[in-house]
Amino acid sequence: MLHTINTSPFESPAMEECIRFVQPGDPVLFIENGVYAVQNGNRFSDAIAALQKTSPVYALQPDLDARGISSVDAEVKGIGYDGFVDLVEAHQVNSWL
């Protein structure tokens, strides 16, 4: 199951809530303001690193670009809308609004 998170972790508990429920192997995709979570060196970097031990983590590149985020946590993969579609093709979706 693909989990998407679209709110900044500084603003909303969505990311922390989502992480509690994600099953090992489930991919997590950050979109919209959610991408602030993966900016390198912020206070959520440890949480992202811990999540990556069991789940692949993606961020929507156009949303990173729009927000001027060029340095993301290691192993976080930037993908476009076409990559988003590929993930949806492969998984059911759980959007943590």
Partner 1 sequence: MRGTALPGFSATILNSEKVKIGILLKEGPYNHQAADTAYKFAEAAIKKGHTVDAVFLYNDGVINATNLTDPPQDDRNIAARWSEMAKEHGVEILACIAASKRRGITDDLMIEGGSITGLGTLTDIAIRNDRLLTFGD
Partner 2 sequence: MDDNVKKIMHVMRRAPHGSIYTYEGLEMILIMAAYEQDLSVAFIGDGVYALKKNQNTDGISMKGFAKTFMALDGYDVEKLYVDRVSLEERGLTEDDLLVDVELLDSAEIGRRMTEQDVVIHH
Residues shown for the chain: 97
Out of 11, 17, 46, 65, name the contact with partner 2 by CB under 8 A: 17
Rounded CA-CA distance 4/94 in Å is 6
Tell me the closest approach of the beta carbon of residue 95 to partner 1, in angstroms.
4
Does residue 10 belong to the site contacting partner 2 (CB under 8 A)?
Answer: no
Q: Judged by CB, which is closer to partner 1: 7, or 39?
A: 7
Tell me the closest approach of the beta carbon of residue 26 to partner 2, in angstroms.
7
Q: In the complex, which residues of this chain contact partner 1 (CB under 8 A)?
A: 6-7, 31-33, 60, 62, 80-82, 84-86, 88-90, 92-93, 95, 97
Produce one character per residue of 62-82: b if its CB has 16 or more CB atoms within 10 Å, e if not: ebbeeeebeebbeebebbeee
Does residue 26 belong to the site contacting partner 2 (CB under 8 A)?
Answer: yes
β-sheet bridge partners, residue 77:
58
Tell me the closest approach of the beta carbon of residue 53 to partner 2, in angstroms.
15
Bridge-based pairing state of the strands 77-79 and 57-60: parallel
